[in-house]
Structure 1
Amino acid sequence: MSLKLLHSVLAGLSLSASVAALADDAAIYKERWETFLKAPGQVSFGPLEEVVGAKPKPLPRLTQPSIPAAALAEADAYAAANKSSTLIVWRKGKIEFERYYGERNAESLLVSKSMAKPITAIAVGRAIKLGYIKSLDQSVADFVTEWRGTPKAAIKVRYLLDMRSGMLEQGFSTDPDHPLNRAYLDTDHGRHIVENYPLVATPGSVYGYANAPSELVALVIERATKMRYAQFVGRQVLQPIGAKGGKVWVNRPGGLAHSGCCMHLPAESWLRLGLLLLNDGKVGGKALLPKGYVAEMRRGTAQNPHFGLGIWIGNPWQERRGFGAPGRPGPQVLHSEPYLDPDLFLFDGNSNQVLYLSPKYDLAILRMGDTPPAKPEWDNAKLANLIMRAVK
């Protein structure tokens, strides 16, 4: 066979393989889209990539809880009545209560939904500490180089975390090709976000809660560190804090991780992530995050005082708080009363999955699970204030 003919054959094989891959991607997207359209909460998170964590020693447990038994029993009943997978109460260095519901146990990998967003902020802080990222105010275009010379070059790293990127806020569309859907379900969702996701406001000028900015954190981390997102989170976040690993949804085998929604970790790993922040970014006296970084995470913005860098802020109190900008329409989460610790902050994701962190009471409360029943309405202040009131 002549060299020219060989090149022609190989080119034909390559083209055939590319066409077949495109057909496979289209079929996968169609299946994901049809599932999502029928039940948005039932999308299959796959394929999954392993996130290698630590082989930790169990966190200390208090055999005789300091929190009154009646309060713990009431908290347990509230969690059980609201389709919880787990409830853990930690105070002053020790776990005082831990329960798993249904078939869940301490080894179960729990789907984070938007509780993954605080991980993106922790990962960025760790990357800054290690020198991979200069600062929160560095342009995202230094990593997403496709944006250089465009209006999106004004997006700072912090804007991906505090939801002030200026990119289209979260919503719903029945158009399968809408950027919201391609940015979530496509087998190359990162490319769609970079190339097609709309910029609708000047970066830094408005708050607009969305998955797309958080999803871009995986791309920033990978380009900054030259590591897979799962690898970086496992090695540089979970292992140093002694947390077990899990899995993360990637758009295709070897593709980009869904950093904004879909980390799967055991309950205690979620707790340890919160304890890292409660301890000002330190573990065993060693700083994993830059000095002052946790304070930055806990600082709201003029556009939304309730949201910092990936985390929610308890004060100022608002009886009903949505994930969107203040005053915007959409689902509102009930907070029946102010938090008893005005400095309380929390991980807060879809299905009312929460990790409350109270500096005043040296307290962490984790509730994960399915969406609670519509009636009686879930109260985001209930568990935290129930326990804080009992230990006053």
Structure 2
Amino acid sequence: MKPGALALVALMALPAVAEDMEAIYQARFKATTANGGYIPEYAPQEPVAGAEQVVPLPVAASGKLTVDEAALDRAEEYARANNSTAFIVWHKGKIQRATYFGDVTAATPLTTMSLSKPMTALAVGRAIKLGYIDSLDQPLSDFFTEWQGTPKASMRVRHLLDMRTGLLPQAYSPDPDHPLNRAYLSPEHGKYIVEEYPLVEAPGSVYGYSNATADLVAVLIERATGQRYGEFLGGEVLAKIGAPGGSQWVNRPGGMAHSGCCAYFPAETYLRMAILLLKGDGIAGEQLLPDGYVKEMRTATPQNPHYGLGLWIGGEYIARRSFAGPHASGPKVLHSEPFVDKDIFMFDGNFNQVVYIEPNFDLIVLRVGKNPPKSPEWDNSFLANTLARAVKDRNPG
């Protein structure tokens, strides 16, 4: 742990009163700066309940795999070589391979970075289904009344999920007073984003990836439902799909959730989310999401043809894709070849945390873990394509 991190954790665990807020923020900023711009500890965490009893997912029997075993071995070795903590392949209702590396087990809660963002889209969809939110096109100012009569009033619910709020996009700043840092590290980050975070473009006009935008979903859910974000997510999403619970990063004990990043859940929780999306708007005989909601999630916007509602979309082939948008500079994720499944969509987060959902093959591939080595470079098409080609009963046409 980096210098200052222990003090950071201690401060994070303290109940935040008004006079402590700035001291807590400054300690977090100092520790994050010392850690190369990454917060060294996503704390405090608040428990999120899942299913009361998790029924194991069916596992394909030895000798009855529906994905070629040699390909599973190659894919597992690729995951191992790239610092993975969990690797799961699910096909047509059964787990074909589930491998955990090091001390990690199926029950280990793992932080999977921006895999939290698809969760926000599921939470919003569930809130719409239950009538707490009218639709994806409801004005956010109905809930964020502070925005009424301001340029932010034209922002819609969908803009929180497709990253078109027009709010300041993600970047790095060494300035402790910069809005990017306040919005991320403040023990009142939700209040800060609503009241202070700058609008830099007209809502709906540009794509701008940011944790601040995704973190607003927690504020929306809490204002719309009257429940804490983790309580709603656990009871109305995770429990409904039979998923294990875990914990949610919050800005202070009893405070607002960071819905856009860095919760801790077992890998299977993300697999079950993917199964829900593969099957459509419901699971186990219950419709959990509004009609056509998953189709909306899988639909890109004109501003970014590779991003829908919390989901990344295969779309037209490009060799390198940036999280920051089609025309952004900076690091880009390598895709050495087009995806075999032209309709693929995925959860995708920092450190190449990824869940590929391949509807044309009834296939899901999950890889989560630490940052892969810089060389050879991570290839974001390798696992999905290796395993799609290895489905035994696939239609070659």
TM-score range, shorter chain: over 0.9
Structure 2 residue 238 is the aligned partner of structure 1 residue 250: no
Which runs of structure 2 are paired with 1:1-392 in the superposition (5 Å)?
21-39=17-35, 40-54=37-51, 55-64=53-62, 65-391=65-391, 392=394
Note if contact 1:164-1:206 (Cα within 8 Å) is conserved in structure 2: yes
- What amino acid is aligned across from residue 293 of structure 1 in structure 2? Y
What's the CA shift string for 1:360-392, capped at 9, x where partnerless?
A: 000001100011010000000000000011124
What's the CA shift string for 1:334-360, capped at 9, x where partnerless?
A: 011111000000000000000000110
- What amino acid is aligned across from residue 340 of structure 1 in structure 2? V
Pairwise CA distance, 1:77: 0.6
Determine the C-alpha separation between the residues in 2 that align with 1:292 and 1:38: 46
What's the CA shift string for 1:132-167, capped at 9, x where partnerless?
A: 000000011111111111111111000010000000
The structure 1 segments of at least 4 consecutive aligned residues displaced by more than 6 Å after TM superposition are none
Q: Secondary structure at the match of 1:360?
A: helix
Identify which range, 227-236 or 32-41, moves more after superposition: 32-41
Q: Secondary structure at the match of 1:75?
A: helix
Determine the C-alpha separation between the residues in 1 that align with 2:271 and 2:198: 35
Structure 2, unmatched stretches of 5+, are 1-15
Pairwise CA distance, 1:221: 0.2
Note if contact 1:334-1:379 (Cα within 8 Å) is conserved in structure 2: yes
- Name the residue aligned to 2:12: none
Q: Which has the larger radius of gyration?
A: 1
Q: Secondary structure at the match of 1:390?
A: coil
Note if contact 1:234-1:245 (Cα within 8 Å) is conserved in structure 2: yes
Determine the C-alpha separation between the residues in 1 that align with 2:281 and 2:100: 28
Determine the C-alpha separation between the residues in 2 that align with 1:330 and 1:127: 36
- What amino acid is aligned across from residue 49 of structure 1 in structure 2? E
Question: What's the TM-score, normalizing by structure 1?
Answer: 0.94
Pairwise CA distance, 1:42: 4.2
Determine the C-alpha separation between the residues in 1 that align with 2:128 and 2:102: 40
Note if contact 2:117-2:310 (Cα within 8 Å) is conserved in structure 1: yes
Pairwise CA distance, 1:27: 2.3
Determine the C-alpha separation between the residues in 2 that align with 1:252 and 1:327: 36
Determine the C-alpha separation between the residues in 2 that align with 1:377 and 1:85: 18
Structure 1, unmatched stretches of 5+, are 1-19
Determine the C-alpha separation between the residues in 2 that align with 1:52 and 1:110: 15
Q: Secondary structure at the match of 1:376?
A: coil
Give the root-mean-square deviation of aligned CA atoms: 1.0
Pairwise CA distance, 1:29: 1.4
Note if contact 1:32-1:44 (Cα within 8 Å) is conserved in structure 2: no
What's the CA shift string for 1:53-77, capped at 9, x where partnerless?
A: 1021100000132211210111111
Determine the C-alpha separation between the residues in 1 that align with 2:270 and 2:205: 32
Determine the C-alpha separation between the residues in 1 that align with 2:251 and 2:188: 6
